[in-house]
């Protein structure tokens, strides 16, 4: 199977969310049938809420055996566990609290008050990733990673022109000066994100068009971090019409 970046364009934000949700459910069922488990990486932001809420509303939601799905996070804010800023808290509201996934399948980053420092939280997540890695890998080979993309092209908590974007190992990084609040965060490195069979990036809104266009035109990851994301099997951009304004026509696909 060749790995090429494809762009699937949807007429509006709501149809985008519904389409990704439907594809996610279908693919997770296929993966479980093939290997009896599936691993998923979640992120935060409005598009994550859009997709996860659509999965939760889907009539097909309960056709997934959620006991065989494990959840990880691409990044997290270093705040208290009950903070509304936590990605895992919002992901719970949107989906995880409703599907009966076993607690041992939910691999959250530690929060403020649970460990002494953000560095300890990073080390703990590295250890957990290694525990579930396959073969000589340093992290699991995730089956589907769902990522939002910021207007500046950032993914997870990897921002343009920051040293973390240049990490060469599949590990967990700490960020103490995020351009977006809260400033202290944890993030998978690009090599850890790219240890995913499929990376699905979801973008909505005209403010995302320039970064997406740059990434697809060959910009470097230092300038546009999303340009450095590449799944092992598939790398797909699910976008609405506004976000697709600067996508080269030959990259737009009608089927997946």
Q: Please say whether the beta carbons of 186 and 122 come within 8 A.
A: yes
Exposure b/e, 56-88, CB count within 10 A at least 16 = b: bebeebeebebebbbbbbbbbbbbeeeeeebbb
Give the per-residue pLDDT at 253. Answer: 67
pLDDT one-digit tens code per residue, 53-83: 999 999 999 999 999 999 999 999 999 999 9
Asked whether the predicted pLDDT for residue 249 surpasses 80, the reply is no
pLDDT one-digit tens code per residue, 130-182: 999 887 788 889 999 999 999 999 999 999 999 999 999 999 999 999 999 99
Contacts of 145 (CB under 8 A, 6+ apart): 40, 41, 74, 193, 196, 198, 199, 200, 231
What average pLDDT does range 85-112 have in this prediction?
A: 97
pLDDT band at 255 (very low <50, low <70, confident <90, very high): very low
Distance CA 196, CA 39 (A): 9
Give the per-residue pLDDT at 137. Answer: 80
Give the per-residue pLDDT at 1. Answer: 41
Q: Could you please report the per-residue DSSP string of 81-134?
A: TT-TT-HHHHHHHHTGGGTT--GGGB-PPP-BTTBS-HHHHHHHHHHHHHHT--
Distance CA 41, CA 199 (A): 9
The predicted model scores a pTM of 0.94
Exposure b/e, 110-137, CB count within 10 A at least 16 = b: bbbeebeebeebbbbbbebbeeeeeeee
pLDDT one-digit tens code per residue, 207-248: 999 999 999 988 899 999 999 999 999 999 999 999 999 887
Q: With the CA atoms of 48, 49, 50 and 53 taken in that order, what torsion angle do they form, in degrees rounded to the nearest 10?
A: 120
What letter does residue 153 receive in the DSSP assignment? -
pLDDT one-digit tens code per residue, 1-49: 446 788 999 999 999 999 999 999 999 999 999 999 999 999 999 999 9
């Amino acid at each position: 199977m060749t790995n090429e970046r494809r762009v699937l364009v949807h007429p509006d934000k709501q149809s985008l969310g519904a389409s990704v949700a439907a594809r996610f459910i279908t693919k997770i069922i296929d993966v479980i049938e093939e290997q009896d488990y599936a691993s998923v990486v979640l992120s935060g932001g409005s598009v994550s809420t859009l997709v996860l809420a659509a999965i939760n509303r889907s009539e097909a939601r309960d056709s997934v055996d959620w006991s065989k799905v494990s959840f990880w996070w691409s990044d997290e804010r270093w705040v208290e566990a009950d903070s509304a800023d936590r990605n895992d808290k919002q992901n719970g509201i949107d989906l995880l609290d409703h599907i009966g996934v076993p607690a041992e399948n939910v691999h959250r980053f530690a929060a403020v008050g649970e460990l002494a420092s953000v560095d300890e939280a990073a080390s703990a997540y590295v250890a957990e990733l290694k525990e579930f890695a396959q073969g000589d890998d340093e992290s699991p080979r995730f089956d589907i990673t769902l990522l939002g993309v910021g207007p500046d092209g950032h993914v997870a908590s990897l921002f343009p022109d920051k040293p973390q974007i240049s990490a060469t190992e599949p590990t967990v990084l700490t960020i103490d000066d995020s351009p977006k609040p809260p400033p202290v965060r944890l993030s998978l490195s690009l090599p850890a994100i790219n240890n995913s069979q499929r990376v699905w990036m979801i973008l909505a809104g005209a403010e995302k068009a320039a970064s997406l266009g740059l990434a697809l035109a060959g910009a470097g990851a230092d300038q546009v971090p999303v340009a450095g994301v590449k799944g092992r099997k598939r790398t797909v951009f699910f976008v609405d019409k506004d976000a697709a304004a600067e996508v080269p026509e030959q990259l737009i696909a009608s089927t997946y």
